[in-house]
Structure 1
Amino acid sequence: MSSKIKLGILGGGGDSLIGVLHRVASSMYDRYEITGGVFNADLQESINFAEEIGIPTNRIYKDLDSLIAEEAKLPEEERMQVVSILTPNFLHFPMAKQLLENGFNVICEKPMTTTYEEAKILDETLKKSQTIFAVTYTYTGYPMVRQMREMIHKGEIGKVQKVDVQYYQGWINPIIHDSEKRANTWRLDPEKSGISCCVGDIGTHAFDMIEYVTGMEVKEILADLNFLYKDNVMDIDGTVLLRFSEFVKGVLRSSQIATGEENNFTVKIYGEKAGLKWEQENPNYLYLLQDGEPMKVLKPGHSYNSELSLNGTKLPPGHPEGIFDSMGNIYKGVAKAIKKEDYHPAEFPTLKDGKRGMNFIEKAIESHQKGNVWVKIDQ
């Protein structure tokens, strides 16, 4: 019998980009085999999709209840061991909770839930289930992001004194100016997306990235959000000031109306000795900035990089790696945890990261609604 981890998938059928990303990532290190799931709310659509991508249809289920009930009937060694949740936001919490309560390991898309309260409930559920839970803050899987993290943690740039993170997209610009389109987009529907669009979607990526690379926790935030139209209740742009301590501060800027931008995620961390800069659209370059020195460019695959960075590098120097590789590194880390192998704690984001992300989203909305005031992030 195959020693690969048996993976089930919820959502991600049809032409879903996130579905392709997760399927490719799971196959990257030959650690998983997709055994079934619920790709679509319509059973026949799920079956058709499974046939299209070459998965046996005997473990394609009509819904999550059926999946759990039928998998429980199988011998333990044949059951799905981990389930990836790729559905719209409002389904993340109920699905994740039900899976944890039934002993499954979980890989969940972000935002992990639609409320901070739900995140706290999941945290308690996970403690009881003692399984593995990963949240796919995808960009933490890039080798040069991991190199940035290790350099900061080892003190190579000195004490961090300034953080500047920008995540700009323009995809919602053609939608927001059309009243009919903005009324029929699930990202702008609080019942499906939660209380935030931009901060909840990409702002939470930026927030997690800041804490991931610096090892510091944000203590307080002040948010100023933009909605553009009075009938749109969901933020589509925002600037958030950050306080880590009295003398360490930063700014997080996220926008989905940055006209013409594609996926401009830029992370800049400045320490007392040096600065580091990374850009998602050019992910193989990590820029090292030092007073009185020419800018240095670090690239993946070289022996000067950290073990954590090299562990996530699949190709020789000079061969570009991208978002599929980044997600693949997260799946690889989860596989190690499920198999009880040694792994670095930075190899995949955990439920704690998802929980802090939800706290950040709610506090950003609260700060804005109270008139752009400082509010504390739970520690």
Structure 2
Amino acid sequence: MSTKIRLGILGGGGDSLIGVLHRVASSMYDSYQLVGGVFNPDLEQNTGFAEKIGIPTDRVYKDFDTLIAEELKLPETERMQVVSILTPNFLHFPMAKKLLENGFNVICEKPMTTTYEEAGILRDTLDKSKTIFAVTYTYTGYPMIRQMKEMIASGAIGTVQKIDVQYYQGWINPIIHDKAKRSTTWRLDPEKSGISCCIGDIGTHAFDMIEYVTGMEVKEILADLNYVYSDNKMDVDGTVLLRFSEFVKGLIRTSQIATGEENNFTVSIYGNKGGLKWEQENPNYLYHLTEDEPLKVLKPGHAYNSALSLDGSKLPPGHPEGIFDSMGNIYKGVAKAIRKEKYHPGEFPTINDGVRGMNFIEKVVESHKQGNTWIKV
């Protein structure tokens, strides 16, 4: 009998990039077996997709409610153990809640829900279910981000005093400037995406990353958002000032209208003894800056890296590790938790990260609407 964790997936069918990412990531360490799911809302497309990726169609269900009902009929030794939610944002909460209530472990795309209130309900539901819940803030899985986290914790750059995170994309330009397109895409529909587009989609990555690598919590924010057109209800660009304490400050710069940018996510953390810088488009290099020595460049796979970083490195030095590997490390951590094995708390983002992310999104929008004022997080 296979000892692999039985995985179900909701969404991610067709040519979905996020679907490929999750399927490949789950297969990396031979810990999961994809047994079924609901990949598309149309049953014929759903079944056709399952056949295309080579999984049996007997557990490819017509809808989410049918999946729950039919899986619960199976013996515990056969039913799905964990379900990944890759659907549009507005479906995350009802799906995750019902899965938790029925004893399933959950891996959920971000943003975790569409409101902070929903996020709190999910956390309460998880407390009762005693299952495992992970939010896929994917970039926390990169080996050199994990190295950054451990170096900051060990005091390698001293006391953190300045944080600067940039996340620039340009993909929404062809949509935002076309009235017909921007009124039909779910990303710009508050009913499906929540109250924020840019901050909810990529700003929340930046926020989670800052708290992940520094180990600190943001206390106050001040936000200025750009909607580009008066009839557009969703932000597509924004800057957020951060306060961690009286003398520790930072900022998040995000945009989906940064023309020509692809996925320019840059994390810079400065302490009183040095700084660390990482760029998602060149993720195998962690730059260590100091005032009294030449620039140091750290790379994955070397013995000088931390145990957490090395555990997330699958290849010898000199072999690039990318976003599939990063997501794979998150799935690996979740597998350890499901199997009740020992794992590092930094191996996967938890529901608490998802809750803080939703709170951040709402506070950013509130700060902007109040005329760019400071708001407690």
TM-score band by shorter chain is: over 0.9
Structure 2 counterpart SS, 1:114: coil
Matched, 1:20 2:20: yes
Quick one: which amino acid aligns to residue 190 of structure 2?
Answer: P
Aligned residue in 2 for 1:348: 348
Partners of 1:102 and 1:41 in 2: CA distance: 22
Aligned residue in 1 for 2:73: 73
Structure 2 counterpart SS, 1:346: coil
Structure 2 counterpart SS, 1:320: coil
Partners of 1:47 and 1:96 in 2: CA distance: 23
Quick one: which amino acid aligns to residue 172 of structure 2?
Answer: I
Aligned residue in 2 for 1:242: 242
Aligned residue in 1 for 2:230: 230
Partners of 1:307 and 1:255 in 2: CA distance: 34
Once the two structures are TM-superposed, the CA of residue 73 in structure 1 deviates from its matched residue by 1.1
| CA-atom RMSD in angstroms | 0.4
Once the two structures are TM-superposed, the CA of residue 43 in structure 1 deviates from its matched residue by 1.2
Aligned residue in 2 for 1:165: 165
Structure 1 counterpart SS, 2:140: helix
Once the two structures are TM-superposed, the CA of residue 45 in structure 1 deviates from its matched residue by 1.0
Partners of 1:359 and 1:105 in 2: CA distance: 23
Once the two structures are TM-superposed, the CA of residue 174 in structure 1 deviates from its matched residue by 1.4
Quick one: which amino acid aligns to residue 209 of structure 1?
Answer: M
For residues 112-147 of structure 1, the C-alpha deviation after alignment (integer angstroms, 9 at most, x for no partner) is: 000000000000000000000000000000000000
Structure 2: 5+ residue runs without aligned partners? none
Equivalent residue pairs, number: 377
Quick one: which amino acid aligns to residue 52 of structure 2?
Answer: E
Aligned residue in 2 for 1:184: 184
Once the two structures are TM-superposed, the CA of residue 315 in structure 1 deviates from its matched residue by 0.4
For residues 212-239 of structure 1, the C-alpha deviation after alignment (integer angstroms, 9 at most, x for no partner) is: 0000000000000001100001000000
What is the TM-score with the length of structure 2 in the denominator? Answer: 1.00
For residues 269-306 of structure 1, the C-alpha deviation after alignment (integer angstroms, 9 at most, x for no partner) is: 00010100000000000000001211110000000000
Structure 2 counterpart SS, 1:252: strand
Structure 1 counterpart SS, 2:134: strand
Matched, 1:114 2:114: yes
Stretch deviating more after TM superposition (5-14 or 171-180): 171-180
Structure 1: 5+ residue runs without aligned partners? none
For residues 237-274 of structure 1, the C-alpha deviation after alignment (integer angstroms, 9 at most, x for no partner) is: 00000000000000000000000000000000000101
Matched, 1:373 2:348: no
Partners of 1:101 and 1:63 in 2: CA distance: 18
Structure 1 counterpart SS, 2:150: helix
Partners of 1:129 and 1:76 in 2: CA distance: 16
Structure 2 counterpart SS, 1:372: coil
Quick one: which amino acid aligns to residue 316 of structure 2?
Answer: P
Matched, 1:104 2:104: yes
Structure 1 counterpart SS, 2:348: coil
Q: How does 1:265-280 map to 2 (within 5 A)?
A: 265-280=265-280
Structure 1 counterpart SS, 2:77: helix
Partners of 2:95 and 2:73 in 1: CA distance: 20
Quick one: which amino acid aligns to residue 345 of structure 2?
Answer: P
Matched, 1:206 2:209: no
Structure 2 counterpart SS, 1:127: helix
Partners of 1:33 and 1:77 in 2: CA distance: 13
Aligned residue in 2 for 1:151: 151
Partners of 2:365 and 2:65 in 1: CA distance: 34
Partners of 1:234 and 1:144 in 2: CA distance: 33
Structure 1 counterpart SS, 2:245: coil
Partners of 1:73 and 1:127 in 2: CA distance: 24
Aligned residue in 1 for 2:288: 288
Structure 1 counterpart SS, 2:58: helix
Identity of aligned residues (%): 81
Partners of 1:293 and 1:174 in 2: CA distance: 45
Quick one: which amino acid aligns to residue 243 of structure 1?
Answer: R
Aligned residue in 2 for 1:260: 260
Partners of 1:72 and 1:169 in 2: CA distance: 42
Q: How does 1:5-154 map to 2 (within 5 A)?
A: 5-154=5-154
Partners of 2:277 and 2:131 in 1: CA distance: 35
Aligned residue in 2 for 1:217: 217
Stretch deviating more after TM superposition (62-71 or 100-109): 62-71
For residues 339-368 of structure 1, the C-alpha deviation after alignment (integer angstroms, 9 at most, x for no partner) is: 000000000000000000000000000000
Which contiguous aligned blocks of 4+ residues in structure 1 show a shift greater than 6 angstroms? none
Partners of 2:178 and 2:13 in 1: CA distance: 28
Partners of 1:344 and 1:360 in 2: CA distance: 25
Matched, 1:314 2:314: yes
Once the two structures are TM-superposed, the CA of residue 333 in structure 1 deviates from its matched residue by 0.1
Once the two structures are TM-superposed, the CA of residue 72 in structure 1 deviates from its matched residue by 1.0
Quick one: which amino acid aligns to residue 5 of structure 2?
Answer: I
Aligned residue in 2 for 1:194: 194
Quick one: which amino acid aligns to residue 174 of structure 2?
Answer: P
